[in-house]
A and B are shown apart, each in its own frame.
Chain A
Amino acid sequence: MKVSKRKRVSDEKLIKKYARGDGSCFEELVNRNYERIFQFIYRMLGDYEKSRDLCQEVFVRVFEKADRFNAKYRFSTWLYTIAKNLVINEIRDNERHKKSFQITINEHIQQQRIRDSRNYDINSPQYIVINRELMALLSRAMMRLNENERMVLVLKEYEGLSYDEIAAIMETASGTIKSWVYRAKKELVKYMKDAEAF
């Protein structure tokens, strides 16, 4: 009974209830939001363990600062803003991160295999392996984007947020967000073309 009733309650109400001392909202909020925040962070960092740690950090902050939640914003906007700040800190702290994603000569072998993938049936093991390589290439391409471009692209393409919402999270005008998304995609297209995987 309690669960079905809670499904109708918005995240904003749940966090407010939590701030007023109802600890039982904790589980529901985690259930609803954990996975998407994790995915967002993972797509930004490309590292499972780091993403897991950082995602937990995001939620620790959310629950610690539950009483500071501003009701005029949506809960998801607030959540993404906290995640964004932590991700940006992490990226800046770890400059080495970018280096490890540099393209090298050995990748050409991988690219050749991706080009060959057109000959395979989509269900064949070869295709699955090559698709994994394509995804590895994509993840490297993503890491080459600057953090703002990468972030808006992830928020738009994967999280499905509106330009206005992203603008609120990024604290920038929505026109700027549009041009960042466009530029990010063009960059990716260029990278994939250079790798002849496109």
Chain B
Amino acid sequence: MDCENVKSHLQAYLHRELSQELTSAVESHILVCKTCKAETEELKLMSKILRQWKVPPPDIEQAKNTLAVALSLKRSVPVVEEKVDIEPVEKEPAEAISIPERLLKSNFVRLLIAASIVVFISLGLLLMFNTTRIEHPAKFEIKDFMPAVAAVTNVRDLANLKVAFTEFCSQEYAQKTKNVNKIITYEFVNTILAFPKMEQQKDDVGTLLIFADSIPEEELSSLRVSLFPRAGQVQEDIWFTVELRSQNLLQEDVSTLSTKHAILAESSGNYYDALQIYQKEIELGKDRATAALRSAFIFMKFGNIGKAKRMIGVARMEESTPIVNKLTDEMARRINQAAVLKKQWIELKLQYGENDYTANELKEILDLQMKASDYQNASITLGDLIPQLDAREQGWYLLQQAWCYKEVGELGKARVVLNSLLDSTTNDKNLEIAARFELFLITKAQEKFDESISLLTSLIKEPVVKENKRLLEMLIFSLGYTFIYDIGDVERGKWFLNSSPEISSLMLIDLIDRINNRPDPEKIPDYTVPRNSAAQRKANPDEV
């Protein structure tokens, strides 16, 4: 048997589908032919890899439910009579009974249909209930949400469901209830789509609809737990972002993504893709104000004031809600301030000379750059400054440098800086803790969640941390948050978060911020231990 012949039989040989005679012919050839032997090994290895490809299981119960509804909806469509070549039918001829009738004969299907109808009605009632709670001025009529209910009825058609809901919410409901903005509406739709079980949906719909600016704080805290089921969807989105980055999406694909994905891309330090999506959103006129504001913020971090200003112009052109106007004004103020500061530090640089700045001069420049949120240039200044400082002073500046690198998406560099900081023996425990926490944030952005968890747990165990109640709570909060949103272990996350009422409300406030997509640059996480506590520690060296 020659090589060509063997190759044509190789597949069947590997699947043991050859006759004994052919099998031994192939085997004896493989023994003497190195090329064919290598090929056989390769194909075997490939089969082994192929077998490892597992598919996420489908929800069969939901499928049965949906199928029953889908088939019952077909009852209005007349069945086309066709001649079929199957064996003769014994009792009732198939044509005599239409498919839905056949289905309805089964108690199982009847139950399913009844259950779905009950759920749809309760969903409708829930919508009405929540509407009256928010007390919008106009009377809410049932016909307003008919398109949505009609879409729900045809549960199989998820794409149309989404369109119907979006339309419904933005045109009717959202306009009448001014405090429910567009983004919440999108969240509402996403939530509906994310959960196969209606019971969970009810909680979420209720909660999301109450997310309004007018709701008092105390009422919000009572709603906290119902948000946890959303975790699954968020987890999916994070993986989507990873995929997005690995594929470096083409321009035309970007148009299918939304602001939400861009924000997730930002959270992984992937500003390039985020900007690309925002620019596409602006071009397409989708969610233009948010996209422009986020872009402006990114440009500001990269020290590109001109582009940031242009983005503010775009945001202003949009006819938008008071809250967006407020945010635009705030962002414009910050950018103008950054522009003034940039002018100042450039002047300083010119004044101090080209290459040989002293440490104090650099500190002055750095201060202006940090105030202007210009992290790109600040990281360069820090690179010049740090070698001029003594070991004792270097620590906090290294931390600042890591922070700057992180802010401009250079996570690898940030990591290197932090590792070198942690490797150098430092007596400052507060600095060490702050650096370890920063490292945690970076591993999280890099999706190295196992590392994130081990870093956090080791931090929580530190005696110094245990003494500082606020810091401890913040760390537990981060741990719970990582479990829920990054790892998807909702149970464990809940356990941590429920350990303190303050943490729970903190979680809730953070979630509201996420949902409203508020670009709030002022809200830099307060993770560092206050400097004065470092001073206290110096005053009391026994603690170290």
Contacts and interface: CB of A to CB of B under 8 A. Distances in A.
A30 B63 contact: yes
Given A30-B67, A105-B248, A64 B99 contact: yes
A23 B60 contact: no
Contacts, number: 168
B12 interface: yes
B105 interface: yes
B71 interface: yes
B84 A68 contact: yes
B94 A19 contact: yes
Nearest to A193: B42
B103 interface: yes
Contacts of B85: 70
A67 B86 contact: yes
Contacts of B253: 96, 99-100
B411 to A, nearest CB: 12
Interface string A159-178: 00011000000000000001
B531 interface: no
B12 A178 contact: yes
B94 A67 contact: yes
- Could you say which interface size class chain B belongs to? 35 or more
Interface stretch (B48-56, B336-344, B502-510): B48-56
Interface string A117-137: 000000001100101001110
A160 to B, nearest CB: 9
B430 to A, nearest CB: 30
Given A20-B89, A30-B64, A100-B249, A64 B71 contact: yes
B67 A178 contact: no
A38 interface: yes
A4 interface: no
Nearest to A39: B55
B252 A189 contact: no
A21 B97 contact: yes
28 contacts: A19-B94, A20-B89, A26-B68, A26-B103, A26-B109, A35-B57, A42-B55, A48-B56, A55-B58, A55-B63, A63-B67, A63-B99, A64-B71, A64-B74, A67-B84, A67-B94, A96-B252, A96-B253, A99-B252, A101-B247, A102-B247, A105-B248, A107-B246, A131-B52, A135-B54, A162-B17, A185-B46, A189-B43
Interface of A: 16, 18-24, 26-27, 30-31, 34-35, 38-39, 42-43, 48-49, 51-53, 55-57, 59-60, 63-64, 67-71, 96, 99-102, 104-107, 110, 125-126, 129, 131, 134-136, 138-139, 153, 156-158, 162-163, 178-179, 181-182, 185-186, 188-189, 192, 198
Interface of B: 7-8, 10-12, 15, 17, 42-43, 45-47, 49-58, 60, 63-64, 66-68, 70-71, 74, 82, 84-87, 89-92, 94-95, 97, 99, 102-106, 108-109, 156, 158, 243, 245-250, 252-253, 450
Given A38-B58, A43-B55, A67-B94, 19 more contacts: A19-B94, A20-B89, A22-B105, A23-B105, A24-B105, A24-B108, A51-B58, A55-B63, A60-B71, A60-B156, A63-B71, A64-B99, A96-B252, A110-B246, A138-B50, A157-B50, A157-B51, A182-B7, A182-B11
